[in-house]
Amino acid sequence: MGRAQQDTKALAKTPNTTAFDDVRVQKVTDVVEGSKGSTTDVSNMKITQVSKAKTYKTKGRLNLRKGASTKYKVLLTIPKGKKVTYKGKKGSWYKVKYKSKTGYVSSKYLTSIKKVSKPKTPSRSDEPSSGRTMYVTATAYTAFCNGCSGKTATGIDLRKNPNIKVIAVDPKVIKLGSKVWVEDYGYAVAGDTGGAIKGSKIDVFISNKQSVYNWGRKRVKIKVLN
């Protein structure tokens, strides 16, 4: 009998320890939460509370547990990319609320969500106390349209600066480069012209097409500041 055949028979009689180990590991490891560090029992630690709610997003599928350790019961599994509200922490475990359930998750599988502040809507209270006052008919336009170059008469690239405040004016009435305040629009620069913008008419730049439609045509108060 050759040596290769002897080895083959010996292997056939030997229990498959590798396969057994794999099964055992799968039973004791919390695959969703991951590393060995997450098994630390911090149940006796004091919960650090927060005065303001913070929002986090899950990096992957994450178990929400009844306590701050993998030994506690899984209340539910939170899908990847879902938002949770932070309530406090115990060690590296965060107490969070997801839907109607509150429990603990491993903090390493959360990413913070930055709060984006909404742009301030101009109001009459922003009106400057000085300046040459005029009442004009105001329409709106966008640089994101077919046939639009995206650049103003004074060279401002509106597509690269979608949040800039620019109005088109009749240079005979308002000098190009002037700083102006426009009711319901705010502070802007007179940086553009238009074929239909003559006399007491202006055109305000708004990057969003729907907002342009919403603006429509209106009579507004403006102040030329320089």
Looking at residue 217, what DSSP letter applies?
S
Whether residue 104 contacts residue 72, with contact meaning beta carbons closer than 8 Å, is answered with yes
Would you say the pTM of this structure is higher than 0.85? no
- What's the pLDDT tens digit per position in 60-101? 999 999 999 999 999 999 999 999 999 998 999 999 999 999
For domain 31-112, the CATH superfamily is SH3 Domains (2.30.30.40)
Q: How far apart are CA 173 and CA 21, in angstroms?
A: 85
Record: fold of 128-224: Barwin-like endoglucanases (2.40.40)
pLDDT at residue 185 in the model: 94
pLDDT higher for 94 or 50? 94
56 confidence band (pLDDT: 50, 70, 90): very high
- What's the pLDDT tens digit per position in 114-159? 665 555 555 554 889 899 999 999 999 999 877 788 899 999 999 9
Domain boundaries, the chain: 31-112, 128-224
Q: How far apart are CA 149 and CA 217, in angstroms?
A: 23
| CB neighbourhood size of 180 (10 A) | 24
Q: How far apart are CA 94 and CA 92, in angstroms?
A: 7
The yes-or-no verdict on residue 7 having pLDDT over 60 is: no
Lowest mean pLDDT among 30-34, 138-142, 156-160, 182-186: 30-34
Percent of the chain residues past pLDDT 70, beyond the cut: 71
pLDDT higher for 46 or 36? 46
